[in-house]
Structure 1
Amino acid sequence: MWLREFARTRLRRTPLPLRDLRLAVGFFAGCLILYVVGGPRVMGGEIPVWQAVLPVLVLCGSTAFRSTAPGRAVLVGTVTVSVEAAASGGLGPVLIYTDLLYAAALYGAPRLCRALQFGTVAATMAATVVFLFIGDRSEGVTTGLIVALLLISPVWTGVLIRNHKEQADAERQRAAQINRLAELDRKAVLQTERTRMARELHDLVANHLSAIAIHSSAVLSLQGARGAGEEKPDEPDGDDPVLRALAVIRENSVQGLAEMRRMVVLLRSDRAVDDDWDRPQLNALPSLVEQARPAADAAALTLVTEFPESFPEVSSVIEVTAYRIVQEALTNCLKHAAAGRVRIRCETGAEELLLCVDSPLGRPDGRERQQRPGAPPTAGAGAGLAGMAERAALVGGVFDAGPDRTAPGRWRVRAVLPLDRNS
């Protein structure tokens, strides 16, 4: 188990040349230990020490290049083992040579791999035939098995591992190609859906907003034409609440049309969502509150803001999320809140952005401000809180809305948006 874990964690992280160098040093140390422990012919003086150590040095030097130059390494190893076998026939050089054969079959060119397969088989058959003619049959068969174990076995093991690696690489490339094709299909489907959404927004919602803007402008123009000649049609009499409400309706519908056009352009483009398009910003929160003041005055609501002197630079995702949450919270206040004070607070810190909108809990009659008695509920009622919660969750923030426990009779909307995760 520990050997397998070591091979999976350590050896795979080590570059091949450095791994080969370590292997060569290990082979050399092992051969020296083998000669010291079980080499009486060397230690006793029958074979000079240099004659036993020199082939090991040459083979270990070839091992250092077993993966970078496998052809030359196995060629040098073949010549060295052949000369050493004719001279002394030590076991250590033969074991090192089997590793050179394995590395040549694994890392060498395809032509070298095929040559080693046929060459080792031919060498094994030739050695078997020679020993059959020289000695008896049993000795020839035994010698052939030993030669096959030393020559054919490492080569075919390297070929087997090589085939598995090539198959794994092919499957990996095929999987990467499939992922690229799937990503292209996903982008095509996403772009098609965005185009369809843009078309629906342009054909349905934008048309209704245009009709609202046109009709409100027409009523204001007729009233202006009936009044004094110096009075501008776009500036209705401030004493008439109906005309003031029409002016607010026209202004908000025109602004909604502008935002709708930007959204349609964004959906039809292939730009990323973090592109610098004309998006809401934090420094636009005061103007958002000012736009809601006429409607708030008509509903007997007093808007009180607590904004920092200067808004910090945050990511576009946080700016859009904060702007939309405050916008939706103000809309809910105008629809549901009772007469009183509405407090809009924004605090910025080093790691988070705090948004808080608290208002009177609700009208005494329990009806929405803009809903006629007996009329059906407004379409999309209840979706505002869910939308604000989803926007906060998408950026990793926290959102809660409900009656304020510290101030009875008040409704509080609170959102905390992190800045470090969305920079």
Structure 2
Amino acid sequence: MYRPGRGSGRDVEAGGARAVLDGRVPSLPRPARPHRDDVLIAAAGLLGGALLWALGLRGAPPAAGLPPWLSLVALAGAAGAELLRRTAPLTGLALATAALLLDLCVGTLLATVVMFTDLVYAAVLHGGPRAARRIPPATALTTVLGTLIALAVTRDPQALFAGVFLGLITLTPASTGLIVRHHRDAAQAARLRAEQTALLAEMDRAQAVTAERARMARELHDVVAGHLSAIALHTTAAQTLDDPAATREALGVIRENSVQGLAEMRRLIGLLRASGGAEADGESAAVPTLDGLPALLARARAAGAGDGLEFRLDDARPQNGGPARLPAPVELAAYRIVQESVTNALKHAAPGEVTVRLDRPPGGPLTTVVTSPYGVRRGPDTARVPGSGAGLTGMRERAALLGGDCYAGPADGPAGPVWRVRATLPTTEETPPA
């Protein structure tokens, strides 16, 4: 089996990685130097052939008066070709063919013939795909033609033995090399499929972890941001107002938001600890729905009263066929989008009315529109509470995961410029989970 040298390790690794992604079987790289096993084969063939020549064990006397020492030249040529059996198998086969022809003319050393058969085998096994396809048919054709020529020249049935000999040294090693190559490629393809499966599984796992982290990041942001924003607003009011009654009211709102935020955090921690996310520590892992919007706006109304903010819910679903129960992912996404929009209004909106409108035509998507006053003096630098911009990204992600869309930006309202958040969420049963 081929073992890559020191300089080819990175090439094999890179080629294997590309093959896993492309789904193809990579070809083994050619080594730059003769393999150690090839050197041993060449040395053994050279020494063995020299011993046979010294003992006079040759197949026939030299033809046409050629000097016997040419057998050693053919032997050296075949041994040199063995050094190329992996680095340049086709060149080695051509050199060995020339050495064999010379050897047949000067006596035929067995070692030269054996090394030639090995080089035919190596050319099919280690050569390119084109060589593997063409060499076996070429050896078969050579065997048939050689047999026919021998019969035509000698007109003796004994010439069939020449065809058998020719088949043994050409067709047999070529067929063996082709079979071994097919088994090697099949094993390599199986290994590649296993690596591809493992890689795809790892990619799926990484994507699932990333998606879960993004989902938990959205949940944590939406849950914590609203309560902390209210706490920050009323803490500022308690520090700046020299009014015991206002301070007590602010502390009451701070305590209420702290308790609610703590409850939400406990719920999320329970979801993380529970297997399957159903229940944790015996407490129900309730998911917020649109039925909780009145309570949400009531808390926002209390938090924004000191800044002149009013909150109103306009639910147009009853007049358009009734507020039918929506899929849980849609209810959660709509609630979180409204929650984040209300939190942003508490941070940035100018004094005025914040309107939350819900609408859904029969069988159509759910549309949520949150409109808040937008004043020039309420830019990012003059926000009551600093923001990071992650809320807008989270709203768009929630809508996109359900196949909907979400737009947030300034718009023209009846009483002047407003900030509008509009989300359209499909409500079909095929809606993917958030």
Return the structure number with greater relative CO, CA threshold 8 A, min gap 6: 2
Report the TM-score range of the alignment, normalised by the length of the smaller protein. Answer: 0.3 to 0.5
Superposition TM-score, scaled by structure 2 size: 0.45
